[in-house]
Amino acid sequence: MQLKRVVVTGIGALTPIGNNLEEYWNGLINGVSGADFITQFDASKFKTRFACELKNFDPLNYLDRKEVKRIDRFTQTAIISSDQAVLDAGINKDNVNVDRVGVVFASGIGGLITFQEEVVNFAKGDGTPRYNPFFIPKMILDIAAGHISMRHGFRGPNFAVVSACASSTNAIMDAFNLIRLGKADIILTGGAESVISEAGVGGFNAMKALSERNDDPKSASRPYDKDRDGFVMGEGSGVLVVEELEHALKRGAKIYCEIAGCGATADAHHITAPHPEGLGAKNVMLVAFEDAGMKPEDIDYVNTHGTSTPLGDIAEIKAITDVFGEHAFKVNISSTKSMTGHCLGAAGVIEAIACIQAVVHNIVPPTINHFTDDPELDSRLNFTFEKAQQRTVRAALSNTFGFGGHNACVIVKKFEA
């Protein structure tokens, strides 16, 4: 069968460096760090006392009080960014067939804050079970997709995707495939995560995954720096409106870019550590190129997973140099996690949005917080350190990798009729 072409016609973003698409993009190209000391709980006794939290965020500015009480913070952010994306795409019940508009939405963990609160409240009591009746529907990670569909009346395919930190890239891939196979006209896709809590920070601290640079939080996320010591936890949400090309053209939609192809693989190596030679990362990029009918030479920008961990950064760069060959020295590479922190299950879509904006504006966002070269990384590579760079970006590739060895990749390119 002839696969349909898929384009992006709407974007919503709620991130640690901007509460909408314009603010987020300005934060990226200006090299703004979203890291600061944690305000959501008292972290004074934790090994890590900082994170990339949302700034000036009050859900009551967007949602009514009753609704806020009934949904977890991750779902609040999902709804808000989906509202932004729907408005941006100009879709409503009058100009689309709601039976063919779906939601494929991701979270790596879901309602961890709700889970923690309910268990702590029970433990403080006398043993009598007094749980919030909304406990389970607040916690389950598929509920964000459900709320988005109910809010807008979308009755097409509706489900959640989870693959740890690769979750929202996998969601984009599922949405892409549903549309190119003709199963839907439009899919809202992306991911949300909000686990900056005692359980979230404490759990990742116990794994020794987080940076402990409490003396200078804003420079703690330093991908590819010799002295990187772990990732900085972030939170937020991103939503893409992905749409079948002819459907978008027929309704006169603006088109940001075309989704060219996607890939998914497994390391089959370790629960948290990457394959030391970047095998899974290498394979996922090759799969994505095959899916897109493209070559490495067609890519001008790679938004890396680049978490600022000692092993992960090296493994991914090995994979890129293996796949791209000599072109690896001509492509721009950057990790926007140096600014947003690691938004876990939302990272994939937030970084895909950075790639889309790079394609639209021909600007590559930087990797900030670089102080010392790592001798294990080839200095000939262009990591786009410190300052955004202008160049023609015909196509961009976004990598995301998750605990469990999950790898996902998406390629976006300039739209040509």
User: Per residue in 332-349, pLDDT tens?
Assistant: 999 999 999 999 999 999
Mean pLDDT of 256-279: 94
| Domain membership flag for residue 1 | no
| Domain membership flag for residue 397 | yes
pLDDT band with cut points at 50, 70 and 90 for residue 319: very high
For residue 15, pLDDT beyond 90: yes
Please give the span between the terminal C-alpha atoms of the chain, in angstroms, as a whole number: 21
Examine the domain organization and report whether 177 and 44 are in the same domain.
yes
Question: DSSP string covering 35-61, please?
Answer: -EE--SS--TTSS--EEB--SS--GGG
For residue 303, pLDDT beyond 90: yes
Mean pLDDT of 353-361: 98
Find the CATH number of the domain harbouring 202. Answer: 3.40.47.10
Positions marked active-site: 165
Predicted local distance difference test score (pLDDT) of residue 261: 98
For residue 243, pLDDT beyond 90: yes
- Could you tell me the residue range of the domain that residue 300 belongs to? 262-413
Using CA atoms, how far residue 6 sits from 34, 63, 245, 249, 412, in Å, is 32, 31, 5, 11, 10
Please give the angle made by the CA atoms of 134, 136 and 138, to the nearest 5 degrees: 60
Mean pLDDT of 183-192: 98
Examine the domain organization and report whether 178 and 321 are in the same domain.
no
pLDDT band with cut points at 50, 70 and 90 for residue 417: confident
For residue 186, pLDDT beyond 90: yes
Mean pLDDT of 229-240: 98
| Domain membership flag for residue 182 | yes
Instruction: Identify any residues that bridge with 259 across adjacent strands, giving them in sequence order.
Output: 412
Choose the final residue of a domain: 250, 271, 304: 250
Predicted local distance difference test score (pLDDT) of residue 365: 98
Average pLDDT over the chain, rounded to an integer: 97
* Closest by CA position to 7, among listed 351, 359, 313: 359
Examine the domain organization and report whether 145 and 125 are in the same domain.
yes
For residue 392, pLDDT beyond 90: yes
Mean pLDDT of 382-387: 98
Residue 397 and residue 263 in contact, taking contact as beta carbons nearer than 8 Å: no
| Domain membership flag for residue 54 | yes
Examine the domain organization and report whether 60 and 115 are in the same domain.
yes
| Domain membership flag for residue 45 | yes
Choose the final residue of a domain: 204, 225, 250: 250
DSSP H or E stretch at residue 400? strand 395-402
Question: DSSP string covering 106-122, please?
Answer: E-SS-SHHHHHHHHHHH
Report d(CA 80, CA 129) in Å as an integer: 33
Tens of pLDDT, residue by residue over 23-74, are 999 999 999 999 999 999 999 999 999 999 999 999 999 999 999 999 999 9
pLDDT band with cut points at 50, 70 and 90 for residue 1: confident
Examine the domain organization and report whether 234 and 323 are in the same domain.
no
Examine the domain organization and report whether 100 and 241 are in the same domain.
yes
Mean pLDDT of 355-384: 97
Examine the domain organization and report whether 362 and 228 are in the same domain.
no
Examine the domain organization and report whether 10 and 156 are in the same domain.
yes
Predicted local distance difference test score (pLDDT) of residue 151: 97
Predicted local distance difference test score (pLDDT) of residue 93: 86
Tokens of residue 360, six digits: 């639209």
User: Of 15-19, 93-97, 194-198, which gets the smallest average pLDDT?
Assistant: 93-97
Choose the final residue of a domain: 250, 276, 295: 250
Examine the domain organization and report whether 50 and 16 are in the same domain.
yes
Number of domains in the chain: 2
Predicted local distance difference test score (pLDDT) of residue 276: 86
| Domain membership flag for residue 257 | no
The pTM assigned to this predicted structure is 0.97
Examine the domain organization and report whether 111 and 238 are in the same domain.
yes
Buried b (16+ CB within 10 A) or exposed e, 239-255: bbbbbbbebbeebebeb
pLDDT band with cut points at 50, 70 and 90 for residue 125: very high
Examine the domain organization and report whether 130 and 277 are in the same domain.
no
Mean pLDDT of 247-267: 97
Parallel/antiparallel/unpaired status of strands 186-193 and 101-106: parallel
| Domain membership flag for residue 144 | yes
Q: How much of the chain, in percent, has pLDDT values that exceed 90?
A: 97
Mean pLDDT of 208-236: 98
| Domain membership flag for residue 403 | yes
Examine the domain organization and report whether 74 and 186 are in the same domain.
yes
Report d(CA 73, CA 53) in Å as an integer: 12
